Structure 1
Amino acid sequence: MIQTFTSVAFQWPVVRRSVIIAAVVGTVLVAINHGSCLLHGEFNVTCAVQSGLTLLVPYCVSTVSCVLTVADRQNETRRR
């Protein structure tokens, strides 16, 4: 059975892994990109939105990677 992108992307193991990766990688990216705003107390709405988007990027990358891995495994199984 071929699963759709969304059916795989919203499976708990995929979501859990993506959240963990986003928390770790996203935190590092926020520190790199917005650390000076945080240290100087200049964190405003714009910085908050940018930080949220910065956290979203590794989540999306991780999710897409997991979905593509599942698809590759399904293709290998069908070829056998």
Structure 2
Amino acid sequence: MKDFLQLACSAGIARSALRVALVVGTALNVINQGGDILVGDNIAWFHLLLNYLVPYCVASYSAARNQIMRSEDE
């Protein structure tokens, strides 16, 4: 488990996951809170954070799991 977390937090995977999170998180925020953002209403900051955090976690988990699976096949 420790090796998996180190791999998931490695620089290459973290950069890729961050790019995915920025694109997907922004799209989710526009979908979920776009109207509130445009008219200047209150924004659900916790949901805004989750909209970026969840794609980051999914992308980093998937990349790390994929890399482990590749190394096991060799």
TM-score, normalised with respect to structure 2 = 0.91
Q: How does 1:19-34 map to 2 (within 5 A)?
A: 19-34=18-33
Residue 58, structure 1, aligned to residue 55, structure 2: yes
The alignment's C-alpha RMSD in Å is 1.2
For this pair of structures, how many residues does the alignment match?
A: 73
5+ residue gaps, structure 1: none
Query: Secondary structure of the residue that 1:42 maps to in structure 2?
Result: coil
Shift of 1:57: 0.9
Q: Distance in 2 between matches of 1:7 and 1:49?
A: 27
Bigger Rg, which one: 1
Question: Which runs of at least 4 in structure 1 moved beyond 6 Å after TM superposition?
Answer: none
Deviations along 1:2-32, one digit per CA (max 9) or x if unpaired, are: x711110111000000000000111001000
